[in-house]
Structure formats: structure tokens, C-alpha cells
Amino acid sequence: MASPLSYKPRPGEIPTNPGVYRFRDADGRVLYVGKAKNLRARLSNYFAPLHTLHERTRRMVTTASSVEWTVVDSDVDSLQLEYMWIKEFDPPFNVRYKDDKSYPYMAITLADEAPRVIVTRNRKIRGAKYFGPYPKVWAVHDTIDLMIKVFPIRTCSDASYKKAMATGRPCFPGQIGRCGGPCSMKVTVEEHRAIVDDFVAFMSGGDQRFTKALTKRMNEASAAMDYESAALYRDRLQAIDAVLNRSALVLASDTDADLFGIAEDELSAAVQHFVIRGGRVRGVRATTIDKELDISGADLVDQVLQRTYGEASAADIPRQVLVPVLPEDEAELEQWLCERRGKRVSIQVAQRGRKADLMRTATLNAKQALMLHKTRRTSDYTARSQALTDLQEALGLEEAPLRIECFDVSHLSGTNVVASMVVFEDGLPRKDQYRSFGVAETTDDTDSMYQVLRRRLAYLDRPEEDEEERPADPMADGEVVTTRRKPRFAYRPQLLVVDGGQPQVEAAARALSDAGHTEVALCGIAKRLEEVWLPGEEYPVILPRTSEALYLLQRLRDEAHRFAITHQRKRRRRDITSVLSEVPGLGDARIKALLRHFGSVAALKAATTEEIEALPGVGPKLAATIHQHLSAG
């Protein structure tokens, strides 16, 4: 099928130079900005036959009414122009960033005559040197309290400083030992500037030099029996140790790097940015991202680096940037960063050693942040209400689906088939009403889905006498009447959701029809493209990536998948334990070791005697016995 897009450029119109392109809608709004090393090759991908495009790309190009491009001299120029346009136009189909919060920083106001140290969330103070971000405000204040014991610099307000310098009387913080600026009348402006320089050098990673110098002075004072000075140096060393203990040494002491841990799914991503200076984690920033178009991990890294360093000062760009996967235009990004920093910058993947360990830590934090982001969004009352309303409109339902049941089928290479049913009421999970199913015989996933739904729907038709008894209230007055209540499994859902695309939805629709419950609404959500399928429809419903309804469906699907996998693992563990317990001489500890190593009876049966023998504690004789027992079974 040819593309029907009327604005498609004619062959040969698009140049082969590097450049940046923009898609606009009929009102002139910029929908998407992208860069390319070869504009013709990149844009031709958007104008392929519509049925071959990713669903969300298809929605973008059909929403647009024009495309324009700007040719540039080099790939680095295209990178810079792309960043500027994304920042200027905020296109809805580009990734959208959401900082989890406005983080507090420690700032040194170097542009002042007597620089002071402050806690601020404002990143635009002229001439200021920033350290952080810090996860909590109290963490910044604690660090400052320790630092001014070693490097007593100004902490008072500008008004207090001006008044003190005009009157010749120390500022109030200076009188109580909380300010070491010229306003305390203890140091000159020049002496104070030298202390500020040491403060900045220490926070920038030069801690070893100061530790050695203070230790030397303490020992010299002690040898000279100047115990008062020795005690002062000792207290400063303790303060330095306290600051350093707050940011443990994770890499070599000369390492200046930024490390990015990323976790993503089809709709969102979470980024953990570790700021490492002098081998220590000096700050952590968390960001969540809404993805409108389906982009690769490499493209996501590209976008994250552009946003992080687009307005960063040269001092904020490190020598090394560690990422989970290299962007396609790695060389251009490195050149761009080098030009901004004025020195060499390398972009690398942390593959082994302590850097890889730290990357795993950052990635784990990103995964937890992503899960928390999704959970908070689902549990928020306003978001839940919006999700149910959006879902009603998108699926054409007569009422909002207050009770939703989602089904998923899980198996291990076609064996050990199980299914799960999770229940959400008012947009929240009802874990007490989750159910799991075993499927003894089936031909494929669609048959399994049909069987499970028929079994579940049968409970909607149970007669009254099968309902549970509700105990009477013993404190009630008058005649005591025992009432009956519906079993929770018999409550009728307003919407059934199946994990899968068109085939699974059609199987579920057949089950509803055969059970005589076509009044129950049905949809399916396909994981790869996050498409929402309705029975009998040729094309899926495409919900916006930022839609609360899509988040709710995704959470339902993920919860059903998690519950099915958990149930399957429990069954597999029971199966392998029961089989192996029949082997003479095989105890519980060795059974657990075999279970951890092979995971299933099928995998263990396929193993050779030598592979079984390789496990610690399993000798040649026992390995042969296990292999013979399983082969005979």
C-alpha cells in the first residue's frame, strides 16, 4: 500500500547532507524534531507505506501536514541545532522529561567580592560554582556545617555582609563562629578568597592534598608541643573524614565522570545520573521520561546527554561519560562535549570492574524509580479517575469500567501452562481477588486463553444456592436471619483485558460469545507496540503515550504477567522437587542446588552426566544415578 501523505517530498528533493528536520501539523505547530547524517535516507523511512510503520510513527506522520529540513555543515552542527529546536518548540512527539523534584545544591557565589556558601535550588546564579545535587536539604546543610569547620568561609547574607563592612562590627554569624568571611573581622578579602579557593578545590575532588597537609601540620604541632593547634588540625581532619564518609570512594581517586543508569519500558524511562568527582559520588539526579515515539536505547542515551549538557558550563562536563549503551553518533557527541568543555571528553560503556558495578547500582535505582513513578501515577486519585474516563471514551463504553479483570498466559517452551487473573477496582489492585489457573492440555496461547475465560465466566452463572453464607449478626434485635452473599469470584467485570494482540482478543471474544456474556467489554494490549485491540476491528486503538488510560492498561498487563510468572515458578519448583526426591541419595540441599542451576526438569533431563557432575557436591556415581532416573522417567 503506497503512502497517501500529500506533503511527501518528491524524489530527489531531499538532500543527502547532514541536517535537522521538523514535522509540523496544519496549525504550524512543530510535532517532532530529529537529526540525520543523511536527510534523504532518514526521511525516506517516514514515508514508507503506512502499514509498515510503527503505530506511533504512523500517527505522527498522519497528524503532520508538512515536513521541512535545514542542511548544516557537519554532524556536530546538526546535534546542536536539534537540541536548540527541541528546547524552543517542545515537540509533543519527542521524549518529555520530568525531574522528580527540584533538587537542592550547594553553591559558592564566586562572582561576589567575598564569596559565600549557600543552599539553593536556583541553577542560574551568575558566576556561582555548584555542587550536588543532594537528595535532601538537610544533607546539604550537614555538609556545609562540616566544611566550614575546615574552610571557614562566609555564610551570612549579603545585607549582613554590607552592614558589617560598613560599620566595622562583625556580622552576627561571625560573632558566634558561624561565618568566616571578611565580615567576621578575622581575615582580609584576599585571605578569604584563598580559603574559598581551597573550599572549591576540596569539593571538586582534591581531598587527598588537604588530608595530607592537615595530617602533616597536626604532627608538626604535636612534636612542637603546640597541643592547641594540633587539636584544631585534628578536629578539621575529623570534619574532612565525615564529609568523605558521606560520599564513599567508588572509583579511582582521579576519576571525574558522569554515570547514567537507565531503565525503560514501552511508555516511560527513568534515568539515574551519578555525578562522580575525585572518585566519589558527589550528587545524584533522578529524571523520568515519557516516550511518545518508540525509540531505541541508543537514541534515548543520545537525548539524555543532549539535555544534560545542553546548557552545562565547562566545569560541569567531566572527562568521562559512562552510559549503558553507546549512541549511534558517539563521535559527534564527544566532539560536541569537547568543544563545550575545552578539553577531551570520552563516552564509554562500563563493561567490567568497579565502573560496571556502579552502573548496575545506578540501573537498579533507575528500575526502582520507574516502578515508583508508575505506582504513584496509578494510585493517584485524580489520575485514576482520568484513566477510567479516558478508557471509557477510547473503548466506546457506556460507563467507566470500575471493575477490570486482566488475563495472561504463561508457559515454559509450551509446557507447564498456567494463567493468571488480576482484578483492579476503581483503578487499584484487589490482590485478595487474584486467581491462577492451570491448563492441562492446550494447542497454543489462544486456546489456553479461551479455556481460562470459559472457566472464569462460568462463575457468573452460578445459581443462588451456590452462594456463600454470610453469618448473622449475633447482636441484632428481633429474628435472626442468615443471609447469603455472592462469592467474590462471581462479581461481574465491566471490562476484560487480555495480554496480547488480535489473535488473543478474538479467542477471548469467542469465549464471551460461547458463554453468553457478550455484554462484558473486551480489549487486548499488545506489549511490543502498546496497541489496544478491540474484537472485530482491523486496526488497533492507539492511545497517546502520556495517556492515563494507557498507564492503567500497562499496569494491569504487567501485574497479570508478574502473577502468572510467580505461579508458574512455584509449580516448576514443586515439580522438580517431587521428581528429584525419588532419586536415592539426593537430599534437600542438592535438590536446591540442581534447581538453581537447571531451573526445570526438562533442562535437567537434557543435561549430560558430565554437566550434572560439574555441580559442587555431586560426584560421578550420583550424577549417573540422577541421569539414569530421569531418563527412565
Residue 340 is predicted with a pLDDT of: 86
Both 564 and 589 in one domain: the answer is: no
Of 10-14, 255-259, 599-603, the poorest mean pLDDT is in 599-603
Residue 448 is predicted with a pLDDT of: 86
Both 112 and 196 in one domain: the answer is: yes
Of 346, 376, 406, the position where a domain reaches its end is 376
The CATH number covering residue 25 comes to 3.40.1440.10
Both 123 and 69 in one domain: the answer is: no
DSSP string, 1-18: -----TTPPPTT-S-SS-
- The pTM of the full predicted model, rounded to 2 decimals, is 0.49
The whole-number average pLDDT for the span 235-254 is 62
- pLDDT tens per residue across span 406-436: 998 887 655 667 888 888 888 888 888 888 8
Of 34, 67, 93, the position where a domain reaches its end is 93
Q: Tell whether 62 is covered by a domain.
A: yes
d(CA 372, CA 351): 27
Both 49 and 118 in one domain: the answer is: no
| Mean pLDDT of the chain, nearest integer | 78
d(CA 41, CA 48): 11
The whole-number average pLDDT for the span 506-525 is 88
Band (1; pLDDT cuts 50, 70, 90): very low
Both 337 and 393 in one domain: the answer is: no
The rounded percent of the chain whose pLDDT value lies above 70 is 79
d(CA 317, CA 241): 27
The whole-number average pLDDT for the span 213-223 is 76
- Give me the number of domains the chain comprises: 5
> Is the pLDDT score of 478 beyond 60?
no
Residue 260 is predicted with a pLDDT of: 92
Q: Which three cell numbers stand for residue 254?
A: 582521579
> Is the pLDDT score of 485 beyond 60?
no
Edge-to-edge strands of the sheet including 66-71?
A: 30-36, 19-24, 66-71
> Is the pLDDT score of 368 beyond 70?
yes
- 502, 524 contact by CB (below 8 A): yes
- Of residues 591 and 45, the one with the higher pLDDT is 45
Both 453 and 326 in one domain: the answer is: no
Of 458-472, 495-509, 535-549, the poorest mean pLDDT is in 458-472
Both 394 and 505 in one domain: the answer is: yes
Domain of 267, in residue numbers: 257-376
Select the highest-mean-pLDDT range: 107-116, 246-255, 265-274, 290-299.
107-116
Band (481; pLDDT cuts 50, 70, 90): very low
DSSP string, 83-129: HHHHHHH--TTS-EEEESS---EEEEETTSSS-BEEEES-S--TTEE
Continuous segment of H or E residues that includes residue 555: helix 548-580
Both 492 and 588 in one domain: the answer is: no
Best CA proximity match to 202, nearest among 119, 269, 113, 108: 108
DSSP class of 492: P
Residue 187 is predicted with a pLDDT of: 86
